[in-house]
Chains A and B, each alone.
Chain A
């Protein structure tokens, strides 16, 4: 029977504290990215383009936005007789008092019956939080070629950054393609290899099920920290598959901003058109917006703008999601503006990440000053924009804010979602956090 052999399980539950206000109301995988889509669309589009069509999404933190986004799964062609996306939330279990997913491995463990029901020949465990383009079929082919119990997708990172990831020492059995994993360290203090785990894990199902059962009842339930080291200890056949290309992990606001900037330029590092990134156009009704209107006096350079925007001012080096309005005389530079932000006239936004639905009153200035017309944000305003360590910091605006006219917000500031009107003040200091 023509049933699919691969079951993909996407870990999409996490919040990621460093993304702060952007993940107040949604898991990281549902954070908007690239002017029209969400972070998880990269994993989903990779799956679609790899013809993997049986998907489970493990989600627990504020899943509403994610569930809304997935819809029927039709956007990624995952609807049909043997195709589909199942969202697997945590559930009450009479046998066990711990109902919430206690870690990535526990989330999969609690859904072992789902795995057994689908009887896959291989299980692909993915993170829904990363920006990359990968044909999983090549990795699965390698997995079979090596008769591996587990194949780990790996990518080279600078040695000084490797301490943040799971790191594998690989032998050069297959040169460019990959090799046996000789050692594996989870977030090592002193990394001895540059091969970091992409959180793309291809398991032989029996091995996965056995490992999860053996790990159950211990007090830690993570693939990187617990399952992989355990399988290493048991001398399982574990291989590393070397992935070449871009990998955006966006765990901090700065990294998130940088990944967005990687969409821009003559030859962008992230080419969503080439990668075949698809999103659910019904989410937030982005299929219902008209093409973007660029005004008579507008300037748009080195930027990405989807449908549904109105630009009357200047937009440079920025990414605008549908429904953003940029008023006359306003300059937007190096910023990422999520859905339906209304920027009034004569504003200046520099290095800003603004979550959805905020209204910027006339003359609002956010971030480092832009050019002579706007006047420098100086000590005179009660601010010191060049505080050491603050320069160039990204300013983050949480969703549904009404920013009063002429407010000045220093760079690196963080504004909580839906700040009450009375809490606003004329000047928000650089790096200040308004809760």
Chain B
């Protein structure tokens, strides 16, 4: 028997995620590859599937193509069937609504007809850009038990990080009594995870009230907390907002450490392996007679003849003899030629590193990227999709090599720390 939960899921997947820099040059943040085989949105979609929820709307806006292809019919997450389904909800022009989404609440408001045709009791609002494992069914039960109008999933984060989040102050019954959006001087360490359960009726009424309220965290929640029943649903476990290069890199590295708490396979995370290049449709990875592989995650279709240490390799990556890949994340079908070295770098798809080239040269990790000092400042170098690095070129730390750059982009044979090409 399949117990019906009858909640509607709205997945907000429109964010630009600009701090991910060139990783979001060609794709929306939820579509950024993660952990070799996955895309970030797989975690949210799989959580929805594993919670037994079957009706999903995905609100897109920014570069939705690869995202739409990835979601496809939704079959990968069991969303196909008579009463099941996943709908892509792009911005649209219409009788009254004729603009891009101005914020999260505005995006939902513009799709109010989707809420109206699905007469359910609750709406689960998610963001598509977090890495976590959560049972929304349990959260819905909690919401019903508390007879809440709104329930906000919250977790404890270090006080130093709270300024990135919505922060809530709760009473003894977990009712949220005060709200601070991205506070500079926080009074609490309880952060919102951007996961909400709304009573559908309540949500419709709230959104109808004032069209200038375009954001949940900024406008809708503070007023709801003041006037209505808003509860915090405490979450304990692995949850990461991988919105920065540093956080993205760290979450990938967490995959390599057994005790870190991230276990996509055990969590039941699925991806759409049929989409784009049929990622799992590869022969097993081949390890050469002199290969050295330590503490790494290796996907099918890789060919490793050199050394790979503490790295995450997506399908089809080739590491030739004498090449060394260390502390890095390589997307699908990158090639690292003989004798090349890749250290502390993220390589987007199909990057070709010429023989003897060095990425991440030198030991000075403290010269931030000159153009984007807030994006790259911990030593990680970014290489864009399909970039070709000529033989013997030397690229320093905190560098950005734009996608599809070729031989003629390198007047000198060197890219110093913090520079971009």
Contacts and interface: CB of A to CB of B under 8 A. Distances in A.
B280 A286 contact: yes
Contacts of B296: 293-294
B288 A308 contact: no
Given A278-B281, A281-B281, A308-B265, A290 B287 contact: no
A302 B296 CA distance: 17
B416 interface: no
A297 B255 CA distance: 16
Contact of B287 (A293, A295, A305, A307): A305
A307 B291 contact: no
B280 A300 contact: no
B409 interface: no
A328 to B, nearest CB: 12
Contacts of A265: 289
Given A35-B284, A273-B283, A294 B295 contact: yes
In which size bucket is the chain A interface?
35 or more
Given A287-B270, A291-B298, A291-B299, A300 B284 contact: no
B35 A300 contact: no
Contact of B284 (A281, A298, A302, A305): A305
Contact of A34 (B268, B284, B314): B284
Contact of A291 (B273, B287, B297): B297
A289 interface: yes
Contacts of A264: 286
Nearest to A318: B287
Given A281-B281, A303-B287, A306-B284, A296 B298 contact: no
A290 B289 contact: no
Contacts of A278: 281
B256 A293 contact: yes
Contacts of B312: 291
A290 B289 CA distance: 24
Interface residues of B, number: 38
Given A295-B295, A304-B285, A307-B37, A290 B301 contact: no
A301 B288 contact: yes
A296 B294 contact: yes
A320 B300 CA distance: 12
B313 interface: yes
B265 A290 contact: yes
Contacts of A300: 287, 291, 293
A125 interface: no
Contacts of A303: 286-287
Given A291-B37, A295-B294, A266 B284 contact: no
A249 to B, nearest CB: 21
Contacts of A339: none
Given A288-B265, A295-B294, A295-B295, A304 B286 contact: yes
A418 interface: no
A302 B270 contact: no
Nearest to B46: A288
Contacts of B91: none
Given A266-B289, A301-B289, A291 B36 contact: yes
B81 to A, nearest CB: 15
B297 A292 contact: yes
Nearest to B272: A287
Nearest to A36: B284
A209 interface: no
B366 interface: no
A219 B216 CA distance: 80
A281 B301 CA distance: 14
27 contacts: A35-B284, A36-B300, A265-B289, A272-B283, A273-B283, A277-B283, A278-B281, A281-B273, A290-B37, A290-B264, A291-B36, A292-B299, A293-B296, A294-B296, A294-B297, A298-B293, A299-B293, A300-B293, A301-B289, A302-B288, A303-B287, A304-B283, A304-B287, A305-B285, A307-B280, A319-B284, A320-B284
Interface of B: 35-37, 255-256, 263-265, 268-271, 273, 280-301, 312-314
Given A281-B281, A287-B280, A308-B265, 10 more contacts: A35-B284, A36-B284, A264-B286, A288-B268, A288-B270, A290-B297, A292-B297, A294-B297, A300-B293, A302-B287
